[in-house]
Amino acid sequence: MDLRHITKRYPENDVLAVRDVSLELRSGEIHALIGENGAGKSTLMKIAAGLLSSYDGEVRSRATDVCRLVQQHPQFIPHHQVWENLFLGIEPRTRWGLLNQEAAVRDFSALAGRYAFPVEPRMRAEGLSAAQAQLAAILGALLHNPDTLILDEPTAPCSDHETALVFEMMRSLRDDGRAVVLITHKLREVMEVSDRITVMRHGRVVGSLLTADTTPNELSSLMIGEDYQHSSSDRRFGVLRIDSGTAGRRSPVEKQDLETATAQTSPPNFQIPESRADPVFELREVSLVRRGRTLLERLNLKLYPGEILGVTGIRENGLEYIEDILSGSTEPNSGEVRIQGSRPSRYTPRAFRKLGLAYIPTDRLMRGASLSSSVEDNMILLDRKRFGRAGLLNRRASAHFSSALQQKFGITAVLGNPMHTLSGGNMQKVILSRELSQHSPVVVFSEPSWGLDFRSSERIHDEILRLSETGVGIILISSDIDEILSLCDRIVVMYKGNFARTLHGDERVRDTIGELMLGIEPEHSQSGAPGEAGVPQAPGEIESKDSAKGYGQ
């Protein structure tokens, strides 16, 4: 397939997404398309796949060629079975024209088996984890037997194991003589799997190289542009060090711009605790059972002030449920939650927030934002009561507040515009600015850098570190091992609804985490019984070095 001089302008917001780009996709090659968010990668590939119609330029391919694009957030119909979703439009029929379910399931299972993708065709799509949904969407594209397969950030929701499966599939397609395109901004993946790399920035191609001839550093400077001053480049490239060993906490090099983001905007609603000896957040024997399945089993966890506690694992091993439990979105079936020593009155986000919890959710679009409301209305959500004067909303005060937040966090947006006009990075900043304006002593971050580019995720990481230095207790839920490794003091690895192990100090090694995530007990196992995270309480338990208490005292 050959793309010639493609230019695409979105008339709604007059954005020139792709400017005069030419690109050749060869069969038998894995072609990586990299660039920051908004560089035009996805738009270009939608054009290649024929999903966008009005553009300038020319797409050349053989008429018989099939090109399939697997989009970033695959859409499924939750109540339909997986095969019903994937065979839409290419339904196998019986002799009488009826749906041939057996044939569909058989074909699907054969395909899934070939690549060892753990997806069950008769399962309802709502039961798929994000990673499984991604794998299912890839299989769905493969059912069309494409000559060109384009994958847009396919590994975003995947663990290392699933990423390896996807890469294996890509290689096998390449060896089969097909063209594979990988859109990503994870340089490690690019270096690992691709044959050829095209770098895009601001809608243009700024470089086209063979993977063998380039280095991550060269790619990253192409992506980001020469003018960018690295603020803490060590951490950014720490991401590339696959065997980074004991990646530890790294202090941000600079934080002058991002000092207490809200000192001028609002009086603190909460006191950051002076004493660091008492936990600010606790789970005691928390279990969650739904539809007869135990999703979380008797979890214990203690979080101390100034500590960053990482929770990681493969997502369907309970990561999304722990997010709901920690934020008060779901009521556990047994056990209790304590925030600053008190039990919340109910298991609602409202009660949790009252006790001093802030929460940055994974689902930014539905839970973290109201897309059709203005940016300002999104910002004032938690402070709304403060802008009430005898019940009336003081719009001047709220506008002042939001523009102060906007400045502090460097949010590029018109405050009166609806939230959905914002880029992913700015949207996350809005959420962050709102949550941090509360000065809550406990902050739960869930997948804070999902889908964000380097610069945005870096700012968020800096903010997390800065917060912990002020004494805020932080729980970081993330399936990105590098993120966890570079930020956290203590790491809890989840496996099948349990805390497989708590890792302290030198144990925080990439390989160990990877094995624990898959349920393999590492050989050098020493401390932390299953179901335990935090300081062992029961007598007889092995006393582990408590980095939390050690830190900050």
Partner 1 sequence: MIYYAIEVMAPLLLAGLGGLFAELAGVLNIALEGMMLAGAFAAIVSASLTGSIAAGMLGGLIAGTVLAYLFYFVGIRMRANIFIVGLAINLLAAGSIPFLSSAMYGTKGVLRLPRVPRMPGFFVGIETGFPLLDQIFLGHSFGVYLTVPAVLLAGLVLQRTPFGLRLRSTGKNPETLRAVGLNPDRYRRAALLISGMGAGLAGSLLALRLGVYLPNVSAGRGWIALVTIYLGYKRPFGVLIAALCFALAEGVSVAAQGVLQIPGTILLGLPYILTVLAMIAYSAMRRVAPSDD
Partner 2 sequence: MSRSQPESRVLVTIAAIGGALALTVLLLTFVSSTPQAALRAFFLGPFSNRYYLGNMLNIFSTLAITGLGMAIAFRAGVFNLGGEGQLYVSALTATMTGLALASLPVMLGLPIALSVGILTGAVIAGLSGVFRYLWDTDELITSFLIASACIPIVDYLIVGPLKDQASNLLTTERVPEAFRLPRLLAPSQLNPTLIIALLLLVVAYIALFRTVRGYEWRLSGLNRQFARYGGIHTGVYIIVPMVVSGALHGLAGGLFVFGTHYATLVGFTAGLGWNGIAVALIAKRHPLGVIPAAAAFAYLESGAHIAMLHTDFTFELGTIIRAVIFLFVTATVLPHSDIAARMSGRVRPFSRKRQT
145 binds partner 1 (CB under 8 A): no
Q: In 510-524, which positions are buried (b, 16+ CB within 10 angstroms) versus exposed (e)?
A: bebbbbbbbeeebee
Which C-beta is closer to partner 1: that of 292 or that of 540? Answer: 292
Chosen residue from 39, 42, 76, 117 binding partner 1 by CB under 8 A: 76
Task: State the Cα–Cα distance between residues 2 and 23, nearest whole angstrom.
Answer: 6
Q: Provide the minimum distance between the beta carbon of 491 and partner 1 in the complex, in angstroms, as a whole number.
A: 29
- Between 109 and 128, how does the x/- string for binding to partner 2 read (CB under 8 A)? -----------------x--
Sign of the torsion angle spanned by Cα atoms 424, 429, 435, 441: positive
Which C-beta is closer to partner 1: that of 85 or that of 468? Answer: 85
User: Among partner 2, partner 1, none, what binds residue 122 when CB lies within 5 to 8 Å by partner kind?
Assistant: none
Q: What is the DSSP code string of 101-145? A: HHHHHHHHHHHHHHHT----TTSBGGG--HHHHHHHHHHHHHHT-
- Which residues in 146-175 contact partner 1 (CB under 8 A)? none
- Residues in the interface with partner 2 (CB under 8 A) total 38
- Which residues in 375-434 contact partner 2 (CB under 8 A)? 377, 380-382, 384-385, 387-388, 391-393, 395
Which C-beta is closer to partner 2: that of 244 or that of 370? Answer: 370
Task: State the Cα–Cα distance between residues 548 and 553, nearest whole angstrom.
Answer: 9
Task: State the Cα–Cα distance between residues 106 and 95, nearest whole angstrom.
Answer: 17
Chosen residue from 368, 425, 471, 536 binding partner 2 by CB under 8 A: 368
- Between 292 and 321, how does the x/- string for binding to partner 1 read (CB under 8 A)? x-----------------------------
Query: What does each C-alpha distance from 108 to 111, 418, 486, 501 come to in angstroms?
Result: 5, 41, 39, 36
Q: Quick one: which segment of 23-31, 205-213, 306-314, 346-354 binds partner 2 (CB under 8 A)?
A: 346-354
Which C-beta is closer to partner 1: that of 181 or that of 199? Answer: 181
77 binds partner 2 (CB under 8 A): yes
539 binds partner 1 (CB under 8 A): no
291 binds partner 1 (CB under 8 A): yes
Closest CA to 260 of 447, 437, 49, 482: 437
**Cα atoms found within 13 Å of the Cα of residue 137, Cβ hemisphere only:** 26
354 binds partner 2 (CB under 8 A): yes
Contacts of residue 218, Cβ cutoff 8 Å, sequence gap at least 6: 209
90 binds partner 1 (CB under 8 A): yes
242 binds partner 1 (CB under 8 A): no
Backbone angles phi, psi at 288, to 5 degrees: -130, 125
* Pair of tokens at residue 34: 């990299």
- Which residues in 308-327 contact partner 2 (CB under 8 A)? 327
Chosen residue from 42, 85, 312, 428 binding partner 1 by CB under 8 A: 85
Contacts of residue 141, Cβ cutoff 8 Å, sequence gap at least 6: 68, 69, 70, 149
289 binds partner 2 (CB under 8 A): no
User: Among partner 2, partner 1, none, what binds residue 194 when CB lies within 5 to 8 Å by partner kind?
Assistant: none
H-helix or E-strand containing 309?
strand 308-313
Q: Give the distance from CA 31 to its chain's centroid.
A: 23
62 binds partner 1 (CB under 8 A): no
Burial category of 288 from C-beta neighbours within 10 Å (exposed 0-12, middle 13-18, buried 19 and up): buried
Q: Provide the binding-site residues for partner 2, judged by CB under 8 A.
A: 73, 75-79, 126, 133, 327, 329, 348-350, 353-354, 359, 361, 363, 366-373, 377, 380-382, 384-385, 387-388, 391-393, 395
Q: Provide the binding-site residues for partner 1, judged by CB under 8 A.
A: 51, 75-80, 84-85, 87-91, 93, 97-99, 289-292, 330
